[in-house]
Structure 1
Amino acid sequence: MEYSKGVNERFERLRKEIADYESIKGTILTGIEDYEKIAYQKKKILKYLNATEEDYNDYRWQMKNRFTSSKGLSEIINLPDKDIGYINAVASKYRFAVSPYYLSLIDPENPACPIKKQAIPSAEELNDMGELDPMDEKGTAVHEIITRRYPDRLIIKVTNVCGMFCRFCQRRRLIGETDKIVPRSKIQTAIEYVRENREIRDVLITGGDAFMVSDELIEWMLKELRAIPHVEIIRFGSRTPVTLPQRITKNLVDILKKYHPVFVNTHFNHPREITPEAKKACEMLADAGIPLGNQMVLLNGVNNDKFVVRKLNQQLLTIRVKPYYIFHPKTVKGTSHFWVKIEEGLEIMESLRGRTSGLAIPTYIINGPKGLGKTPIMPNYILYLGKDKAAFRNWQGEFFEVENYSSGG
């Protein structure tokens, strides 16, 4: 197809805007693209645990066989002796557990593997900078398991259990030493609070990981909440599609879709986490009419790179997950090696606008300390706002003005 010289020049400028990304995106591999290596690691894990494919596909087996100490890790990934010592030292202070599935995603040939950084304790965790509860969840708790910071919604925390305890976890203070499900009587009290406060229209069930409780308990909670007329939507916070996709079973999905509108927010942090298993889990949920959002945490050494985030967000859309939030890391004690400067997040947001579809652009959020809530931050595109005119720059830095008036004068 032939175009005028001016149009061709315009198209060429547009191509150049993403030429840097196009030249590098093939080196940022998803778990689907690098699955041969992951499958090899999986075989090593199955051999070490003397397990079958059927075992591996059962989330209960995955939970029972989580790696919870340095024992066995060196059989699967390359660990210097000093790292083994650090793992044991950190594990005595902050609980450690990783599912066999998520362990298989670690690239043993990459000492800076972003999956390893999220899953395996490191010496940096012994740094005591930060606080255990910088968001003051305890101070905004209206009930032992309820956090409420906003007028029309709240969080109910039903467990401390996770398929994998992320090394940057904001609730590491609640993990404890054993897995616990909140007694039904306490959950009932929380539900009664929702019933008594008619302004609550949105309930988020989380933990730990909300999908780590039984199907029966999930259905009971959904039935109870759905019986409250003013509860409009119910959300689940779960990283199981990422760290334990075997948990997304047909039975669980069939339960969830009975109580629509139900939403699920999950937590992919790196393209390598997008595997065939994760894709299947997300598509099962999406096929059941459950909207999926992703809440990425910006983490030093994991995803504080504009091209990594672009690849992640674009690939999430292919498995029907909408990039929802990028969270600036919280100053949780023992996680200072993951912290980044706000400028890094703003640079990433700037790099996305105009260079990928709006669907792939989340909201960059910083949490106000001591329970002040989520605050969006973004590059500044407005240069001047006057009575009659407003001035802006676009995603390419080009200046333009628009009239600023209303039909009312």
Structure 2
Amino acid sequence: MLHKIVSVTPGKLLLREELDAYDPAAEPWQKQFARRYVHHSEMKGILNNIEDVNETVYDKFAVSVTPYMAQLMDRDDPHCPIRLQYLPTFHEEAKPGFATLLDELGEEGDTIPGTSVVHRYPRRVLFLVSNTCATLCRFCTRKRMVSRPSGSVHKDEIERSIDYIAGNKDIDDVLLSGGDPLTFDDDRLDYILGQIRSRAPHVRFLRIGSRMVVQLPTRVTPELCAVLEKHRVQMINIHINHPKEITPLLRERVKMIQKAGVMMGLQTVCLRGVNDNVEVMRELFMQAIEMGVRPYYVYSTDMVEGAHHFIVPHARMLALYEGLRGWISGPAVPTFIVDGLGGLGKLPIIPSYVREEVRPDGNGTTIKCRNYKGMEVEMPGLGVEFRVPSQSN
């Protein structure tokens, strides 16, 4: 979409006509960051049919929307898949009988004391460097820290985290996340990445998880790409939930990252009313690989407070997976997962295409296989253990 460049006061909220004419590429990302809408009443100046939520919603989770994301929202439709992800609703009030947890993934139990490193798996760690995001997803799994000053990641925590990574030679995979690491300026990122590379040469895979690339694509600059290339960041996972979030501007900035030698992966959350539709997911994942971004995970919605209305049942997620495998390109099919409560980790949600069955005559078992069309074939050889005969002297 082409926009006419308009002259607006730095930090000033954009009203409807100004937003329609606004070109996100016309000013630095920091100025756009300062223009975020932080209350649903502010959105009434640009959108129709805004729900008046109770102010208690803000006690639990803040609101934040960049002008760029606001441009993608349908002006009238309250069911717009972009609006649903970012605007507060009465559904966020507590639902009786629905269990929610502040830390439903049990990350705090796996956090190394004095650091912000979550060390759950033997050789890889999650390094939470920030509690800030450009735009706040209503289904955020880290509401306990994101948008809340009490959850800030302090500089001394970051230093101790780097100390821990440097001192643990078993760690060969580090994922920077938050919040969003790209809310830091280039100098801060340069320092953190540089410290990891210089002090922890045993780290073989250094990656970043960022939603900001999608929420504010102009954050991707030649200067940022130079930092990523300098410190050999091998992968950036971005988060897209609907094809409407893939714009010419996003494609342009993704290409800049790729030219810096960085692999791109896609993470998606399965959200009721947003993308729990086979055609939507097919289009999303095909557009992703079209721009060189490999679909990685589709998460079930975590059972965090205020997100119960987004949860897609397990049976529906299985059906969505079945609607992808075989119907779109193989590299475009991500792994569907559920994050187990209390720190159980990522668990795949996969339909059964190959199963072992007892033969009708009761004489042993056989293997039955089916394809994406439901066609079945028996493969008895898979059910027999082949023993290599020993050589006689």
TM range (shorter): 0.7 to 0.9
Corresponding residue to 1:399 among 370, 373, 376: 376
**8 Å CA contact 1:45, 1:100 repeated in 2:** no
What amino acid is aligned across from residue 219 of structure 2 in structure 1?
R
Q: Secondary structure of 1:293's partner?
A: strand
**8 Å CA contact 1:45, 1:104 repeated in 2:** no
| Aligned CA distance change for structure 1 residues 111 and 54 (closer, same or farther; 3 Å) | closer
Give the structure, 1 or 2, with the largest relative contact order (CA under 8 Å, sep 6 or more).
1
| Aligned CA distance change for structure 1 residues 179 and 64 (closer, same or farther; 3 Å) | farther
The separation in 1 between residues aligned to 2:377 and 2:279, in whole angstroms, is 28
Q: CA deviation at 1:57?
A: 3.8
The separation in 2 between residues aligned to 1:331 and 1:97, in whole angstroms, is 21
Corresponding residue to 1:408 among 382, 388, 393: 388
Corresponding residue to 1:76 among 46, 70, 77: 46
The separation in 1 between residues aligned to 2:27 and 2:266, in whole angstroms, is 24
Q: How many residues align?
A: 369
Q: Secondary structure of 2:373's partner?
A: coil
Which residue of structure 1 aligns with residue 361 of structure 2? none
Offset from partner CA, 1:172-203 (integer Å, 9 cap, x none): 11124459863433212111111221111000
1:106 and 2:73 are equivalent in the alignment: yes
Q: CA deviation at 1:55?
A: 7.5
Corresponding residue to 2:275 among 299, 303, 306: 303
Which residue of structure 1 aligns with residue 35 of structure 2? 65
TM-score under structure 2 length normalisation: 0.87
1:133 and 2:133 are equivalent in the alignment: no
TM-score under structure 1 length normalisation: 0.84
The separation in 2 between residues aligned to 1:294 and 1:87, in whole angstroms, is 34
**8 Å CA contact 1:55, 1:61 repeated in 2:** no
The separation in 1 between residues aligned to 2:334 and 2:78, in whole angstroms, is 30
Gaps of 5+ in 2: 8-13, 359-363
**8 Å CA contact 2:297, 2:337 repeated in 1:** yes
Which residue of structure 2 aligns with residue 327 of structure 1? 299
| Aligned CA distance change for structure 1 residues 250 and 87 (closer, same or farther; 3 Å) | farther
Which residue of structure 2 aligns with residue 91 of structure 1? 58
**8 Å CA contact 2:356, 2:367 repeated in 1:** yes
Offset from partner CA, 1:333-387 (integer Å, 9 cap, x none): 1111111101111101101111111111000011111001001121100122788
**8 Å CA contact 1:127, 1:336 repeated in 2:** no
Q: Secondary structure of 2:139's partner?
A: coil
What amino acid is aligned across from residue 90 of structure 1 in structure 2?
V
Q: Secondary structure of 2:226's partner?
A: helix
Corresponding residue to 1:162 among 133, 154, 157: 133
| Aligned CA distance change for structure 1 residues 201 and 54 (closer, same or farther; 3 Å) | closer
**8 Å CA contact 1:160, 1:179 repeated in 2:** no
What amino acid is aligned across from residue 377 of structure 2 in structure 1?
F
Offset from partner CA, 1:291-327 (integer Å, 9 cap, x none): 1111100001111111110110001111111110000
What amino acid is aligned across from residue 142 of structure 1 in structure 2?
I
Taking only aligned residues, the RMSD between alpha carbons, in angstroms, comes to 2.5
What amino acid is aligned across from residue 388 of structure 2 in structure 1?
G
The separation in 1 between residues aligned to 2:345 and 2:388, in whole angstroms, is 35
What amino acid is aligned across from residue 83 of structure 2 in structure 1?
K
Percent of pairs with identical residues: 33
The separation in 1 between residues aligned to 2:350 and 2:90, in whole angstroms, is 33
Corresponding residue to 1:290 among 247, 257, 262: 262
Which residue of structure 2 aligns with residue 233 of structure 1? 205
What amino acid is aligned across from residue 341 of structure 1 in structure 2?
P
**8 Å CA contact 1:159, 1:207 repeated in 2:** yes
Corresponding residue to 2:122 among 132, 137, 151: 151
The separation in 2 between residues aligned to 1:167 and 1:281, in whole angstroms, is 25
The separation in 1 between residues aligned to 2:371 and 2:303, in whole angstroms, is 33
Q: Secondary structure of 2:88's partner?
A: coil
| Aligned CA distance change for structure 1 residues 337 and 209 (closer, same or farther; 3 Å) | same
Which residue of structure 1 aligns with residue 158 of structure 2? 187
What amino acid is aligned across from residue 346 of structure 1 in structure 2?
L
| Aligned CA distance change for structure 1 residues 119 and 179 (closer, same or farther; 3 Å) | farther
